[in-house]
Amino acid sequence: MSMIDQERKGGNINQALLKDVLDIYVEMGMDSMKYYEDFEVDMLKATAEYYSTKASQWIAINSYNDYMLKVDECLKQETNRASCYLHSSSKQKLLKVVEQELSMYAGELQENALTKDVLEMGKAYTNLEVGALKRENDKTT
């Protein structure tokens, strides 16, 4: 788990070694249920916690578009991560967790962006209206 966390934070890990360890785990007769119980559940929980934290940090400093670029990059990285060393049964579960955690905040950020846009449009319209009234008033005086 710590190797995956290290890689998510930008560190380099020995992906081949991690893949071999996970493959041995499954091959030694510790069927996929044991893999699921002993590794996958914890890995998915750690993934949810990691991306929940990241998402809450990102929405504080990013626009909706920038946030969505980060989401896209995370999904690419997790897809690559799953392909490199996780058991094939984990890939879709991993991506689902990442999507769930990051999409919760995307909706909130999108609502905030739309509200901000509407307020700015209203302000611009008010300024135009005031300017037009002033010009009209200047013409009559």
Pairwise CA distance, residues 85 & 7, whole Å: 12
Q: 2-140: CATH homologous superfamily?
A: Cullin Repeats (1.20.1310.10)
pTM, rounded to two decimals:
0.72
From the number of C-beta atoms within 10 Å of its C-beta (0-12, 13-18, 19+), residue 128 rates as exposed
pLDDT tens by residue, 5-28:
999 999 999 999 999 988 887 777
Domain ranges for the chain:
2-140
Q: How confident is the model at residue 72 (pLDDT cuts 50, 70, 90)?
A: very high
Over residues 90-111, the pLDDT tens digits come to 999 999 999 999 988 777 766 6
Instruction: Give dist(CA 54, CA 60) in Å, integer.
Output: 10
